[in-house]
Structure 1
């Protein structure tokens, strides 16, 4: 049934070793051999030149994804439950953290479907299942990217302009709505096949936009979504955090000069302490952003290589690692924030006291002060 599949001229370019070993030979079971014949037209021929993965490979990936699903759902669920049930945490700044947890939860909902796809070694729900899977992943990924930008923007305003720069609740809700509008265009366009389309990739148990389709339209779509979903958020993040660092350095320089004029060693115990809590929260946000870069850079590279580069390295196994990376980051995000944010950790410990081995430390006076001032601003 698959003897007429064209492997293309790139087959002889494959390197020896692991990559070459994945190319199917006569008598090997081809990747996609267990997929309905009617659905094969949606699978790019590039994937159908490889051997079908062994059952244990699907099993191992299923175990990894099941663990990520459990930890990610637990972490993001605790952040959301704590946010919505604790009035003191419902501040404009924490709105962005909760929004990030919502996007990450959408990513977690992928994983049960992936596990079911691994059992059948294909797409259990056919084309519509593939399209919904990829669309949800696109919304989650692009939404998380721009939400990290909003977190950076909020931290910059809070630290640089502590008296009049804090976002109000209406402004925060507006920016949260903006993140959802930002995520929609390049998720819905391929879903309705207006521009590009979604297709299976790797072991054919996951789906993404079809970066292997030949043609200028696909290349243009890949460039646009690369800039929209990856480059612009990273540039915004770099801009706001570089300004935070610059502001903190200027503030420390000012304190040193003032201390020198007053003939004292340091003025850090005073006005400097008031900003220590905000700087600590900014460090948490930077960590989350760093994790996002680690999670989504591999996917961006795979799309660029698949569209413009040497496809000889695009084996099914190679293309599965970026998917694992982005889902792992969606799982880790809430744990980073819950562990480092004293208020979140304290409230989570009340709900699940067995989760943290140590009793959470009380928030510093400066942190309490900033939270109280935020609450007053909201009620005004």
Structure 2
């Protein structure tokens, strides 16, 4: 257990600017002052040196999170409902899309608890509420990371080996189960305080794994989870997408050489190949969002454990939390807007969601042929 420490202004003589402004001085309300005494021992003394955020800061964050919650639940629900109610979409490739939507939905359902915590300016449900909030974030974050890797692997197999490389349904389901198993160790271990633990951070209205407690155990846990939850998925993603790009370049080079031998200007790749590449571009966009959303959190944990903690102000540490939840909100809309089959099916269910321009008969024929090839690409 921690011993609460009183920090005076002299301890922060060299802090400047915005960071200095957040340090509590004599007479200021200290961060965590509205939290039950029994729970204060779970809050690292680092946070207790800062001023309590103003009520409007809690209010603004609550408004942002409420908006993210609404858009995220709507988008992920549309993806999941479309997947489970449209038989042609229930393909091995799209199982990974649905799995990502499930992890993102878990992330979304943390947000009402955050809003309630913001109202009371602390943890409404105490330690158990903090632990449940953090374990949900752990599963959704690590699960989404490794699912992005599986999506990259599936795209690579489909594009590089279109005839015999596509994953079967059993293999896809097995990989989905693997994503849940992947997220389990470093969600369960801190939940039961077997190794490390979950603790409040920032404004003390959110919780994550403890990266501030001094000691080799915390440092080792932080390094291991950093590699497990961030570096390994990122390396797998980079590996598979680099191979996709390499394969596309080789394929285009082969087509140019063949066209030159046949004395024609160019050879079409075919609608099916174009559809696969289009879907891969959507997946790459999702991965880019994953990097933008989770890199700040990874950096915060490393700074908190090994770096200059003077940088770790409550306000600074809240930005990564907002970033990862924003990505979980945006993911389904990327698929809904850009994934050909999902967009078509969602448009049928919610026609007012997408505004489509009128098409000529020629463009209708071309679009129908393209949709057919995309359906073949998805169903194969």
State the Cα RMSD in Å: 2.8
Unmatched 5+ residue regions in structure 2?
none
* Structure 1 residue 11: Cα displacement: 3.6
Change (3 A) 1:379 1:58: closer
SS class of match (1:217): helix
Deviates more, 1:367-376 or 1:24-33: 367-376
CA distance in 2 between counterparts of 1:118 and 1:323 reads 14
1:78 and 1:102 map into 2 onto residues whose CA distance is: 11
How far apart, CA to CA, are the structure 2 residues paired with 1:211 and 1:368?
53
The question of 1:279 aligning with 2:277 is answered yes
Structure 1 residues 28 and 359: alpha-carbon distance in aligned structure 2, compared to 1, 3 A threshold: same
1:37-56 CA deviation, whole Å, 9 max, x = no partner? Answer: 01000000000010000000
Alpha carbons of structure 1 residues 373 and 181: separation in structure 2 relative to 1, 3 Å:
farther
Question: How many Å apart are 1:13 and its aligned residue?
Answer: 6.0
Residues 290-347 of structure 1 deviation map (CA, whole Å, 9 limit, x = unaligned): 0000000000000000000000010000000000000000000000011001211111
Change (3 A) 1:379 1:96: closer
CA separation of 1:245 and 1:139: change in aligned 2, threshold 3 A: same
CA distance in 2, matches of 1:374, 1:343: 7
In structure 2, what is the equivalent of residue 8 of structure 1?
8
Does the 8 Å CA contact 1:211/1:218 hold for their aligned counterparts?
Answer: yes
Cα separation, 1, equivalents of 2:337 and 2:318 = 29
Asked whether the 8 Å contact 1:349–1:360 carries over to 2, the reply is: no
Structure 1 residues 241, 377: CA separation in 2 closer, same or farther (over 3 Å shift)?
closer
Decide which moves more: 11-20 or 53-62: 11-20
Alignment match, 1:259: 259
Say if 1:11 and 1:312, in contact at 8 Å, map to a contact too: no
Match of 2:361 in 1: 363
Higher mean Cα deviation, 345-354 or 293-302? 345-354
CA contact (8 A) 1:196 1:209 kept: yes
Q: Aligned partners of 1:73, 1:182: CA distance in 2, in Å?
A: 24
Note if contact 1:10-1:311 (Cα within 8 Å) is conserved in structure 2. Answer: no
Q: After TM superposition, what 4+ stretches of structure 1 lie above 2 angstroms from structure 2? A: 1-15, 359-364, 367-380
2:191 paired residue number: 191
Q: CA deviation at 1:5?
A: 2.3
Partner of 2:248: 248
Distance 2:239 2:47 in 1: 40
Instruction: Evaluate the alpha carbon distance shift between residue 351 and residue 374 of structure 1 in structure 2; reply closer, same or farther with a 3 A threshold.
Output: closer
Q: How far off is 1:200 after superposition?
A: 0.2
Paired positions, count: 376
- CA deviations 1:103-141 (Å, max 9, x no partner) are 000000010000000000000000000000000000000
Distance (Å, rounded) in 2 between the aligned partners of 1:362 and 1:316: 56
Displacement after TM superposition at 1:358 (Å) = 1.8
Greater CA deviation, 340-349 or 314-323?
340-349
- The CA deviation at 1:15 is 2.6
Contact conserved, 1:201 with 1:208, CA < 8 A, in 2? yes
Give distance in 2, aligned partners of 1:196 and 1:183: 16
> 1:351: how far off?
1.4
CA distance in 2, matches of 1:268, 1:117: 57
Is the 2:2–2:45 Cα contact (8 Å) retained in structure 1?
A: no
Aligned residues of 1:22 and 1:50 also touching (Cα < 8 A): yes
- Kindly tell me: are residues 25 and 111 of structure 1, through their superposed partners in 2, closer, same or farther at Cα, counting changes over 3 Å? same
Contact 1:93 1:151 in 2 (8 A): yes
8 Å CA contact 2:271, 2:374 repeated in 1:
no
The verdict on how the C-alpha distance between 1:19 and 1:188 changes in structure 2, with shifts beyond 3 A counting, is same
Task: Tell me how far 1:12 sits from its aligned partner.
Answer: 2.5
Counterparts in 2 of 1:378 and 1:355: CA distance versus 1, 3 Å: closer
* TM-score of the pair, normalised by structure 2: 0.93
- Deviation of residue 374 (structure 1)? 10
Alignment CA distance shift 1:90-1:368 (3 Å):
farther
1:68-79 → structure 2 map (5 Å cutoff): 68-79=68-79
The secondary structure found in structure 2 opposite 1:268 is: coil
